[in-house]
Structure 1
Amino acid sequence: MSVAARARTRLDLGARRLRVSAVPIVQCGLAAGLAWFVAADLVGHARPFFAPIAAVISLGVALGSRLRRTAELVLGVSLGVLIGDLLISWIGSGPWQIALVVALAVAVAVFADGGTVLVAQAGSSAVLVATLLPPGQSGGLDRWVDALIGGTIGLLVSALLPSHPLGPVRRQARRALDELAAVLFGVAEALRGRDEEAAAEALRRARRSQPLVDELRASVKSGREVTAVAPLRRPHRAEVARFAELAERTDYAFRNTRVLARRALTALQDDEPAIEALPDAVAQLATAVQKLTAQVGGGDREAARAPILDLVHDSPILGAAAGDLGVSEQVMIAQLRSIAIDLLQATGLSRPEAQRALRAEL
């Protein structure tokens, strides 16, 4: 790829990231400006820099647990200011005094089992008190109020100008399902080609998949928070709940796929024979995952149900008697059935409904 092509690709990726984060960026800027205005012009604080800082941290460009983060922010500022004001007024300001104040503030925050924001704010507030704002120039209570103003305005801005709760969830769901399909295709190709290294790579890839599931769960949690705080986004609650179920089923499907990949590798290492239709069944299941992925963007997930049921009902090996199969084949087929149940639940069926569907009772 030429230098110009690489530059265009980087620009395209940057522009895409900006489009995705447009609302959070506007939220941060608006909240910071409003926080300064309220603290400086309405409340009358001389240098209320904690207010815009608190507003930006309580929002963040990435969605997260805003209520908890805002509470930790205010508590962290209060803790750092308290320890800084008390100690610096007694021991003075200097390198070792700063080291002591920050260490004590962070230690107290850690002892209180505080989160990352609480610990960071306790330490940074202590630094500011000990250096830029020694006691007497600005009251500790003013700084605490500024943090409270900023955090509150951050929450209000997120409620009145909310991000779309489903956008990040859909992106993360597609990423996770794409990876699940890729792992299944990898297992199918390894079995078809009797390739141990390909099976090992599929297993490694499956084991690296957990962060994708964790990110999907985090985006669902953020979506729920947006629908709870923002009145304009409450109609999306039901869809976010459906994605919560999808995230749960995707997690289980990945776990079963790891077992499938591990057993495929073991079978190849031990040179166990494999039914010729087994790789095709695994690939067909991967294709069913792709069908589900295509419906994540707002389509009808029930449309992804038929390929899964076709595999289960039409594949000769999934209905084969256990006595006709080797040990590894039995394990892999059992995992395929389990993954099929997980995917059927991801399309909206309950577990009993999914089990009945596998038995062609629906």
Structure 2
Amino acid sequence: MIETPGILLTILSFMLVIGPLVFVHEMGHYLAGRIFGIKADAFAIGFGREIAGFTDRRGTRWKFGWLPLGGYVKFAGDMTPASEPSAEWLALPAEERQRTFQSKPVWQRAIVVAAGPVVNFVVAIVILAGFALAYGDVRMPPVIGATVPGSAAALAGLQQGDRVTALGGRSVETFDDMARYARIRAGERTRIDVLRDGRLVSRDVVIGTELQRDRFGNEYRIGRLGIAGGKPIVVRVGLLEAPAVAVKRTGEIVSMMVETLGQVISGRRSVKELGGPLSIAKVSGEQMSLGLDAYVFLIALVSINLGFINLLPVPMLDGGHLLFYAIEAVRRKPVGPDVQEWAYRGGLAAILALMLLVTFNDLGNFGLWKNLAGLIG
């Protein structure tokens, strides 16, 4: 039976995921700016019309918007998307100008910009470290316990006791490494290397495709080799080891994101699989209904997503700013205002196009287009 969370639970859970994560992202920018003596003109908590607020002794206006979904920070002197010097900035008194974002050296500006995504990764690492402390670290060697009849592994002649050493030329250390590799490569041909009785055996396999449906009716296309592992080993993790385990897990998730994005760009994965805010809202409600553990783990995943996406070298995103700062550091002078202006316009157009695409995909996943086709038919 399909269980669907109510609309109110979905909206609430979405706000509790996105709102705090965007807020801490902006707080990362703000705190880094504070360290370098940059004045913040405003820090908005939520979007839309200001419903309440106050100005602190540093002159920062803390505004509360009616839509509590994150916020933004506006630094003094950050007057245009391309951070161009303006007549207004040049007219500022010298002392006040030194407290603006534009006046700082490129390395300080880069740190301030990078601080937002870094905080998102830190939030995820803290959450994953907590899971490691609470539940331990599951470790399973990449040894074949059994193969599923008719599966890719069985057709390739893999046997019980074979130890997988590499997939597609990539080293495999744990059973999870193997599962992660296959999961995002349904239907792809790859090479699998195993150690059998002390000798290396290589086989070509076509990763199988498994369609899974969860309790909410969502369908997923998962790649499977058809290999069963042995008994998992749960290792207790101490306070000092937990952050290392969390950093490793975060790196694995980011690696999978990079590979998945590469598959979409290369055409090996359909753009229809891209989801947007509506999908996040839907999943948020579903995970909250499954329990606190599932919901908190989703927060970690979304936080990693926010950090990763913001570091992409796309103008308008933090990564785009960092790209221009890197060029500025090499050239010893900023990129020309005209180039920056056109780049930011192009970046804005690309982001708007992507948002339109993922919203279209989200509505399709909700069945809107099928329902409309049924009405028209």
TM-score by length of 2: 0.23
Structure whose residues are more often helix by fraction:
1
Q: Which has the larger radius of gyration?
A: 1
Higher relative contact order (CA 8 A, sep 6+): 2
Structure whose residues are more often strand by fraction:
2
